Amino acid sequence: MSTTLTEQFTKGLEDVIAGSTSICTINPENESLLYRGYSATALSENANFEEVAHLLIEGRLPKKRELKRLTKLFIQERKIPKPLVKVLKQIPQAASPMDVLRTSVSFIGAIEENKQYSVEETKQIAYSLIAKLPFALMTWFHLSKNQPVPKITKTLSYAGRFLQLVTGVEPDSFEEKVINASFILYAEHEFNASTFCARVTASTMSDIYSAITSGIGALKGPLHGGANEAAMELMLKFSSPSDAEAGILDMLNRKEKIMGFGHRVYKKGDGRSNVMKKYAQELAVKKGTPKYYEIAERIEKIVKEKKGLPPNADFYSALVYYLLGIPIPLYTPIFVLSRMAGWSAHILEQLSDNRLIRPRAFYQGPPQREFVPIDRR
């Protein structure tokens, strides 16, 4: 390898432009995140997740009749195959819900008869998986606890239906608005680790099931999607804001990471966090349970003062989910359900102008040496 190539090596590919996209861009200077040119925060206030899924996958916002068709498709396609229900029944209650999602995608792919998908078929599979995954996840979640899977009892959006599937209670319009906003804000984020994994798999001309499975595997880790669960576990350890202050200072002295803070790209702040913080505050007031909001604010203040680190999208999202009554192990799976839209858009974009993604490595091992037979080692 030439010297110029090794000189370009950057650990963790930080700031490396690894490809081009027209799906999404991040501007860390003004904390902006654009989906196909539209501000993600504006979309989270004004659109529903179905519209954003269409925007990301088709490249434009849907017209009324297109939205109606997609809404209907998500409802029609939600039924999961019977063989999958059998598989889900065998996955223990103690399993990670992320493993349940990964297995579901992989299993649905395995029982498909067709193995060579055109771009159009790949798109239809994407929509079908977006429809099915909440039901696969919640079927396992409730059946593994020997409880019935809740019925959807009123006309709700995609995100609202998910919330009712989790809690068994009809969400009110504010709760539906909040969970919908969270689904939109998590839907896409440029070349993050899981999206990059999905694109790498798609670039080998493998299929969408394999690419999505790669994405779920990468998203599971605590440095990526898993941070929202860890952030809530952390908040729950504290009994008051002053207890949180002392605990966080201790952790920082021990050089421990505070989950839900810091970001590879946003160094000044993450615009998504401001939206989720506002909703967390409103929910805390509405539910009359301000304790964890106050604890969260104190943690934010201390981490900012001591490390200069702002919260990322995961920190206040975690609190929002907690206040919506969602069990903690489902926080990262929500990220999957939402990011399905972004991953699908990236897989399709990769296929539309494919070149195998195959970088080089900066070799740091020994120089070439002679083989040593086993009795002389």
Of these, 312, 332, 338, 350, which contacts ligand COA (CB under 6 A)? 312
- Residue 343 phi, psi dihedral angles, 5° rounding: -55, -45
309 binding ligand COA? (CB under 6 A): yes
Task: Report d(CA 267, CA 255) in Å as an integer.
Answer: 19
Contact region with ligand COA (CB under 6 A), list: 33-41, 180-188, 235-243, 259-267? 259-267
Of these, 81, 85, 217, 264, which contacts ligand COA (CB under 6 A)? 264
Nearer to ligand COA, 12 or 366 (CB): 12
User: Which is the catalytic residue, given 54, 207, 270, 314?
Assistant: 314
307 binding ligand COA? (CB under 6 A): yes
Residue recorded with tokens 């969270």: 182
Of these, 133, 136, 259, 340, which contacts ligand COA (CB under 6 A)? 259
> Which residues neighbour 326 within 8 Å (Cβ) at sequence distance 6 or greater?
163, 166, 167, 334
Q: To the nearest whole angstrom, how small is the minimum distance from the Cβ of residue 337 to ligand COA?
A: 17
Q: Report residue 161 as tokens.
A: 């239906």
Catalytic residue check, 142: no
Nearer to ligand COA, 213 or 332 (CB): 332
Nearer to ligand COA, 158 or 266 (CB): 266
Q: To the nearest whole angstrom, how small is the minimum distance from the Cβ of residue 173 to ligand COA?
A: 29
141 binding ligand COA? (CB under 6 A): no
User: Which is the catalytic residue, given 224, 243, 353, 375?
Assistant: 224
Percent composition of the chain: helix, strand, coil (DSSP 3-state, to 5): 60, 5, 35
Task: Report d(CA 49, CA 179) in Å as an integer.
Answer: 10
Q: To the nearest whole angstrom, how small is the minimum distance from the Cβ of residue 274 to ligand COA?
A: 15
Catalytic residue check, 263: yes
Q: Contact at 8 Å (CB) between 165 and 149?
A: yes
For ligand COA (CB under 6 A), the number of binding residues is 15
Starting at the earlier edge strand, list the strands of the sheet with 38-39. 24-27, 32-35, 38-39
Q: Contact at 8 Å (CB) between 70 and 131?
A: no
Which conformational region is residue 240 in: left (phi greater than 0), alpha (psi within -120 to 50 degrees), or beta? beta
Q: To the nearest whole angstrom, how small is the minimum distance from the Cβ of residue 48 to ligand COA?
A: 24
User: Which is the catalytic residue, given 54, 263, 270, 346?
Assistant: 263
Residue recorded with tokens 């810091």: 262
223 binding ligand COA? (CB under 6 A): yes
50 binding ligand COA? (CB under 6 A): no
Q: To the nearest whole angstrom, how small is the minimum distance from the Cβ of residue 64 to ligand COA?
A: 35
Q: Report residue 300 as tokens.
A: 């934010």
Q: To the nearest whole angstrom, how small is the minimum distance from the Cβ of residue 191 to ligand COA?
A: 13
Residue recorded with tokens 């990526």: 224
272 binding ligand COA? (CB under 6 A): no
Of these, 67, 206, 257, 301, which contacts ligand COA (CB under 6 A)? 257
> Which residues neighbour 275 within 8 Å (Cβ) at sequence distance 6 or greater?
41, 44, 45, 181, 185
Q: Report residue 234 as tokens.
A: 């952390």
Which neighbouring-strand residues pair with 24?
Answer: 35
Contact region with ligand COA (CB under 6 A), list: 52-60, 109-117, 177-185, 304-312? 304-312
Instruction: For helices 313-323 and 271-287, give the axis angle rounded to 10 degrees.
Output: 20
Per DSSP, the residues of 217-261 read: HHHTSTTTTTHHHHHHHHHHT-SSHHHHHHHHHHHHHTT---TTB
Within positions 12 to 31, which residues make up the interface with ligand COA, using CB under 6 A? Answer: 12
Catalytic residue check, 346: no
Q: To the nearest whole angstrom, how small is the minimum distance from the Cβ of residue 11 to ligand COA?
A: 9
Reduced to 3 states (helix: H, G, I; strand: E, B; else coil), residue 116 is coil
Task: Report d(CA 188, CA 195) in Å as an integer.
Answer: 9
Contact region with ligand COA (CB under 6 A), list: 26-34, 56-64, 100-108, 262-270? 262-270
Contacts with ligand COA by CB under 6 A lie at 12, 223, 227, 257-264, 307, 309, 312, 314
Q: Which residues are catalytic?
A: 224, 263, 314
